[in-house]
Amino acid sequence: MNILVTGGAGFIGANFVYYELENHPEDRIVCIDALTYAGNLATLDAAIGNPNFRFVKADIADREAVEKLFSEEAFDIVVNFAAESHVDRSIENPELFLKTNIMGTQVLMDACRKFNVPRYHQVSTDEVYGDLPLDRPELFFTEETPIHTSSPYSASKASADLLVLAYYRTFGLPVTISRCSNNYGPYHFPEKLIPLMISRALADQSLPVYGKGDNVRDWLYVEDHCSAIDLIIRNGRVGEVYNIGGHNERTNLEVVKTILSELNKPETLITYVTDRLGHDRRYAIDPTKISGELGWSPKTYFDDGIKKTIRWYLDNRSWWENILSGDYQAYYEKMYGNR
Ligand code: NAD
Ligand code: DAU
């Protein structure tokens, strides 16, 4: 099969590229990525020499570029990871989120219609369900939980989901949607909680915890997200939404304290800062549907995954130090400037 992975130079997209190349060596992966601040071609270093892999630098909202690519390749599946993904940035500047996350989705789906692509998969998020109260631990998000967004980021992802379902109903586009909880693991951009805290703790810098640090996230090791998407695109039912999450809930403060303890750093590094506007309190996924229908279950529990993740950041310092210094943004020019 010929699979288009959008946003494959980002955190989850790159992990998915590696997952597919390893688990389905018979398939070909084409990656399209605009290489925004969050895209890092060095992340795909180990894929770039693979004959089953092609990288194309382009914006998913650029209709001409997308149609050119679809006319060159006969795709069997399109998996759309490309997005503006950071909630705090969406609070600073919502516009780009609407362009990439909504318009980009539309351009990709139009291309799927025009070129008769048999499957479009939208990588969505549990944030489309809004949040749950902290004092109701028995509540979880199911696929039937109403959409109820908090941030411009989650509103843009929810809008895209609605558009995807509209293309299914109106045009019969064969779509699936997955809504996953918070991921962590290798290649996570160091603006997000876990890699930010690891990199700052290693430099003995203060660790900015929003509010009281009692917000809860349901952490999933990124490889488990990749295995779930892999099952959905191969065995999932068209027109369906699948929630992905592994019951690994932790408060932010618990996560930060675990990182400090693993790194032998003092808790005095923790600094409480002004809360995020509209800060969602708790996310928690009920994965019954994907487990029952597709036999998916997560392999990595948080206590092991966080150790593996910290080990990865210790062993791959140059990857994140290049990002923090800004050097990674010159990488594409260095690699592709003269081609
Ligand atoms: P990321 O920010 O690390 O990567 C996004 C990638 O998309 C980058 O490589 C960037 O260059 C690329 N991109 C951005 N705008 C683009 C555009 N207009 N055209 C082409 N490429 C573009 O994001 P991530 O954390 O890997 O998230 C990937 C997807 O998974 C997103 O759709 C996100 O909403 C969703 N998701 C993320 C999480 C999480 O915990 N990180 C959880 C659930 C769902
Ligand atoms: O739930 C899935 C979502 O998870 C994805 O859709 C998003 O793309 C992804 O970024 C993530 O969103 P969050 O807002 O939950 O992730 P973030 O790492 O930004 O923050 C996690 C929690 O930590 C959140 O409660 C805010 C808090 N936080 C975050 C940062 C960056 C802090 O307390 N301090 C910080 O410096």
- Taking the CA of residue 8 as reference, the ligand 1 atom at the shortest distance is 9
- Ligand whose nearest atom lies closest to the CA of 251: 2
8 falls in which pLDDT band (50, 70, 90)?
very high
Per residue, the 3-state secondary structure of 24-59, as one string, reads: CCCCEEEEEECCCCCCCHHHHHHHHCCCCEEEEECC
> Distance of CA 229 to CAs 1, 5, 187, 225, 236, Å?
15, 12, 18, 6, 9
Residue 330: the pLDDT is 75
184 catalytic residue (yes or no)? no
- Which of these, 282, 278, 228, lies nearest to 254 by C-alpha position? 282
Stretch 317-339: mean pLDDT, rounded? 77
pLDDT score of 55 more than 90: yes
Residue 328: the pLDDT is 75
Say if residue 87 is exposed, middle or buried (CB neighbours under 10 Å; 0-12, 13-18, 19+).
Answer: buried
Alpha-carbon distance of 241 to 236, in angstroms, equals 9
Alpha-carbon distance of 36 to 40, in angstroms, equals 8
Residue 30: the pLDDT is 98
Residue 335: the pLDDT is 60
Contact 83, 8 (CB under 8 A): no
153 catalytic residue (yes or no)? yes
What spacing in Å lies between the alpha carbon of 221 and ligand 2's midpoint? 15
The topology (CATH level 3) of 2-185+221-247+278-304 is Rossmann fold (3.40.50)
What does pLDDT average to over the chain? 96
- Taking the CA of residue 211 as reference, the ligand 2 atom at the shortest distance is 33
State pLDDT tens for residues 276-327: 999 999 999 999 999 999 999 999 999 999 999 999 999 999 999 999 998 7
Contact 239, 171 (CB under 8 A): no
Residue 337: the pLDDT is 65
- Taking the CA of residue 197 as reference, the ligand 2 atom at the shortest distance is 36
Residue 332: the pLDDT is 63
What spacing in Å lies between the alpha carbon of 264 and ligand 1's midpoint? 32
State pLDDT tens for residues 14-40: 999 999 999 999 999 999 999 999 999
Residue 118: the pLDDT is 98
Residue 259: the pLDDT is 98
DSSP string of 274-325? PPPTT---B--B--HHHHHHH-------HHHHHHHHHHHHHHTHHHHHHHHH
Domain residue extents for the chain: 2-185+221-247+278-304
> Distance of CA 295 to CAs 68, 132, 141, 235, Å?
37, 27, 19, 10
126 catalytic residue (yes or no)? yes
State pLDDT tens for residues 196-240: 999 999 999 999 999 999 999 999 999 999 999 999 999 999 999
What spacing in Å lies between the alpha carbon of 337 and ligand 1's midpoint? 24
The runs of H, that is alpha helices, within the chain are: 11-23, 45-48, 63-72, 87-92, 95-97, 104-114, 152-171, 193-202, 222-235, 252-262, 288-294, 302-315, 317-325, 331-336
What spacing in Å lies between the alpha carbon of 243 and ligand 1's midpoint? 18
Among protein residues, the one with the nearest Cα to ligand 1's atom 1 is 10
pLDDT score of 338 more than 80: no
State pLDDT tens for residues 77-97: 999 999 999 999 999 999 999
Residue 4: the pLDDT is 99
Query: Looking at the whole model, is its pTM more than 0.95?
Result: yes
